[in-house]
Amino acid sequence: MRQTAKLFRQRTGASMDGDDDTDPSATLPELADLDWMHHGTAFAATSFWAVARRLPAIVREAIALAWGVSRRDTVAAIGLNVAAGVMTTFGLLATSTVLTELFAIGPTPDRVRSAAPALLLAALAVLARGGLTIAAGWAQARLIPQINYGVELRLFEATTAVELAAFDDAGFAEEMDRARNRGMEEAASIVDDTVNLITGLVGVLATAAAVTVIQPLLLPCLLLAAAPLAVTAVRMARREYLAMLARLTRRRRMWMLAHLMANRHTAAEVRTYQMRTFLLGEYQRIMRMETRAQLLLVRSQTVTRLAGASVAGLATFAVYLVLGWLLLTGMVPLAAAATAMLALQAARGSLSTAVHATNSLYEDALYYRDFQSFLHRADGHTPTGGGEPAPGYQEIEFDQVSLSYPDTDTPAVDQVSLRIRRGEVIALVGENGSGKSTLAKLIAGLYRPSGGVIRWDGVDTTRLDPASLSGQVAVISQDWWRFPFTAGRNISIGRYDRSNGDGPSVTEAATAAAAHDMISGLPRGYETLLNREFKNGHDLSGGQWQRLVAARGLYRDARLLICDEPSAALDARAEHALFQQLRRRPERTVVLITHRLANVRHADRIYVMHQGRIIQQGGHDQLVQEDGLYQELFHLQASGYLA
């Protein structure tokens, strides 16, 4: 833990920056947030042996993951590596025979001749080992994209299936970020590292097997050389890991600033507030700090490397001494001792591979666990589906319905009762924060009430199939997203799977929303891509986007159309055109939310909301006569138009 703390001090530069040693998180507090790499710090404080103990479970999990995407590639990646290990053993045994023949007594040509068959075998073993390793690498590389594809699909299946309320849960959002940021990537890494670990272990075992066959007494020599090698490799891997950790934080800081300085969305504000000098100053300050930290890291890495090389040298020297003693006492023949030296070289590489793989495997598994726990959490937020198909309703009834958002004491919608019939136009009005949008979302089935019952034709909506219910609803929302599709696609995604002739065409919907002329004037008309970040992309003004969003809602052609501030950004002409479309039609209900009370004059019923409750209801003429909030708001607005 002390090491981690020191590392963070180094990274924030607190102990070495002189005038510049203020923590950058003081001016940019978001930099202090390390949530997405919190496992990294946990890992930095865990001992290698604690890591090794958890390995079997992680390896089992990784193999199951690989097995799930491709049995053939899993078997090939592991099996071919094992076969390559067998070839290593054969190669060493053949080399031992070659050396025995060469060191035998007799004329050199005779010795070479008798060594030739074993030499051929040794060469074949090397060839076979090379081929098998390449084939195993191919299978291993094939697994990666397949796993990535599988986990990404699984993640987005989950994020798109969860109910809207999940996104109000801060814990859910954080877990989703963690699962997306690293958890998802690490699925492929744990499989990759598992195969590397197996490769390394097979290499070590293959060498040990060869040495045991040649002369069992040499096995302790191998262990003597391997033990310090293993310790050094662990330290080196840990040091490299810590360096990587530091690099990640540094990169994160750079991303934050780079994002502000080289981004189309921030470009205008950076200029209007003249933030350039400030941002460049921050960038330089952090860069200087990080460069110093990096130099320190390079130095400490060199020291570790030097210490490692010294320990390895001493260990090799000790092995030479033991081997020399075994040779002098005649316990081991010269050829076997020479083979042992070759085996030692082979073991060194395999051991280092295994230790590196162990280190990264443990860390990757922690992040992968984030991914799994997110999926588990998402399952808890996913509607089960099934249930009765929603009726093509005649009446929707709210009976004492309430909704409280997570972590809030006051309900956003408080014991609301109302009835909405097919063919009606009803309006929800009230001041900001009075609960109109929340009530609209309840009507749309986007939220489940925390109290009371919603019925469609007398059936509790919790008994209805959520998909068939939302199939009957269209929402023109005040919070829309600029989907990076063509103008035509931006409308047709309102009901992307509808067959032609089942409702208004894209052009009809656009015309109804006063968007047709605007779209026709775009460089490629309905085929214009609406995103400036792509080649030939185009962007629209806020009001033009809102027309497009209205066109999408009309294209959906649903029985229940909910319009939440559909005209906030529209000019007078477009607003007039849209509200002509939202007039009464027998087959459709319109729920309208707007602050412009002139637009709700024609509504069948107006509900006035205040602090989550309905405090008045009735037609415009009635409400404007009534002494109450509606009258007050209406006169306030009307006074703006009077001379």
Alpha-carbon Rg for the chain in angstroms: 35
Name the residue among 57, 11, 1 with its Cα closest to residue 32. Answer: 11
Q: 174 to each of 39, 181, 182, how far by Cα in Å?
A: 14, 10, 12
Q: Closer CB to ligand ATP, residue 122 or residue 412? A: 412
Least distance between ligand ATP and beta carbon 442 (Å): 10
Q: Closer CB to ligand ATP, residue 168 or residue 177? A: 168
Q: Closer CB to ligand ATP, residue 204 or residue 443? A: 443
Q: What is the spatial distance between Cα 294 and Cα 302, in angstroms, rounded to a whole number?
A: 12
- Burial annotation 429-447 (CB, 10 A radius, 16+ → b, else e): bbeeebbbbbbbbbbbbbb
Q: What three-state secondary structure class fits 274?
A: coil
For 128-139, the three-class secondary structure string (H helix, E strand, C coil) is: HHHHHHHHHHHH
Q: Closer CB to ligand ATP, residue 102 or residue 633? A: 633
Q: Closer CB to ligand ATP, residue 430 or residue 494? A: 430
Least distance between ligand ATP and beta carbon 377 (Å): 18
Least distance between ligand ATP and beta carbon 452 (Å): 16
Least distance between ligand ATP and beta carbon 390 (Å): 24
Q: Closer CB to ligand ATP, residue 410 or residue 505? A: 410
Least distance between ligand ATP and beta carbon 403 (Å): 9
Task: Provide the phi-psi class of 486: left if phi over 0, else alpha when psi is between -120 and 50, else beta.
Answer: beta
Least distance between ligand ATP and beta carbon 430 (Å): 6
User: How many residues would you count in the chain?
Assistant: 643
Phi, psi of 386 (to 5 degrees): 75, -155
Locate 237 and state its tokens: 């891997």
Q: Which residues bind ligand ATP (CB under 6 A)?
A: 168, 405, 408, 412, 430, 432-438
Q: What is the spatial distance between Cα 301 and Cα 298, in angstroms, rounded to a whole number?
A: 5
Q: Closer CB to ligand ATP, residue 23 or residue 168? A: 168
Least distance between ligand ATP and beta carbon 201 (Å): 51
Report H helices in 13-107: 38-44, 48-69, 71-102
DSSP state of 595: S
Can you say how many angstroms the Cα of residue 566 is from the centroid of all Cα atoms in its chain?
Answer: 33
Locate 379 and state its tokens: 């399952």
Q: Closer CB to ligand ATP, residue 108 or residue 432? A: 432
Locate 258 and state its tokens: 């780079």
Q: Are strands 605-610 and 613-618 parallel, antiparallel or unpaired?
A: antiparallel
Q: What three-state secondary structure class fits 421?
A: strand
Least distance between ligand ATP and beta carbon 447 (Å): 9
Least distance between ligand ATP and beta carbon 615 (Å): 13
Least distance between ligand ATP and beta carbon 162 (Å): 14
Q: What is the spatial distance between Cα 417 and Cα 402, in angstroms, rounded to a whole number?
A: 9
Q: Closer CB to ligand ATP, residue 253 or residue 441? A: 441
Q: What three-state secondary structure class fits 496?
A: coil
Q: Closer CB to ligand ATP, residue 277 or residue 432? A: 432
Q: What is the spatial distance between Cα 229 and Cα 246, in angstroms, rounded to a whole number?
A: 26
